[in-house]
Chains A and B, each alone.
Chain A
Amino acid sequence: GQSLEQPSEVTAVEGAIVQINCTYQTSGFYGLSWYQQHDGGAPTFLSYNGLDGLEETGRFSSFLSRSDSYGYLLLQELQMKDSASYFCAVRDSHSNYQLIWGAGTKLIIKP
């Protein structure tokens, strides 16, 4: 079957660095995406990893290791506005490349 595991909640301090891990199990892995969702808002795309390695976009980076079925989202220089839920999502070639979503990680940032 298909499944994604990510921590339900992570707490960090403003200005710090935090890493949100995601492990997945899918028969037709085609890429790992990360989305941010503020309370009551729409999910917004953050990053995508189709190949192994690190992708960097400003303060956010995402990493993928296909051999370990593992990825993470790294957020640096945390700001209060980064308080949100972060979802990893896998594209599955055996499901017509649809996104299979994790349950989300609620990031709480303290001053």
Chain B
Amino acid sequence: EPEVTQTPSHQVTQMGQEVILRCVPISNHLYFYWYRQILGQKVEFLVSFYNNEISEKSEIFDDQFSVERPDGSNFTLKIRSTKLEDSAMYFCASSETVAGGGTGELFFGEGSRLTVL
């Protein structure tokens, strides 16, 4: 069964360092998303991406964040200068149509846990 894959599963970094989280969405999906979840809290939308550009972003997604689809399969989230409060689980998701189309179904990866020290 097709799945969204994310690497790394866990990354520990020092405050102020740059981090790149990688995702391989499901191959026939057109819409890609990054969400984050601080431990024990709700899932927060960061950004959606379609047709090689950002289609929507939240207020969390400030200038220190960027996304890229460098080739036909990878979708990356870069955090330019990490802060302590960036520590969270970051989930990549993909869907065939916008926000999952008729059923609203997003397919999530297993997440990348980022710990900023």
What is the chain A residue whose CB lies nearest that of B102?
Answer: A50
In the complex, A95 Cα to B55 Cα: how many Å?
Answer: 10
Max chain B Cβ within 10 angstroms of own Cβ: one of A42, A45, A99: A42
Number of chain A residues close to chain B: CB under 8 A: 24
The total number of A-B Cβ pairs within 8 Å is 66
Given contacts A43-B108, A45-B105, A91-B99, 13 further A-B contacts (CB under 8 A): A31-B104, A37-B43, A41-B111, A43-B43, A45-B104, A87-B43, A89-B43, A95-B56, A96-B48, A96-B99, A98-B48, A99-B99, A100-B45
The answer to whether A99 touches B45 (Cβ under 8 A) is yes
Interface residue SS majority, chain A:
strand
**Contact A42:B99 (CB < 8 A) given known A33-B104, A101-B43:** no
How many residues on chain B are close to A (CB under 8 Å)?
A: 22
Dominant SS among interface residues on chain B: mixed
In the complex, what residues of A have CB within 8 A of residue B104's CB? 31, 33, 45, 48, 50, 89, 91, 99
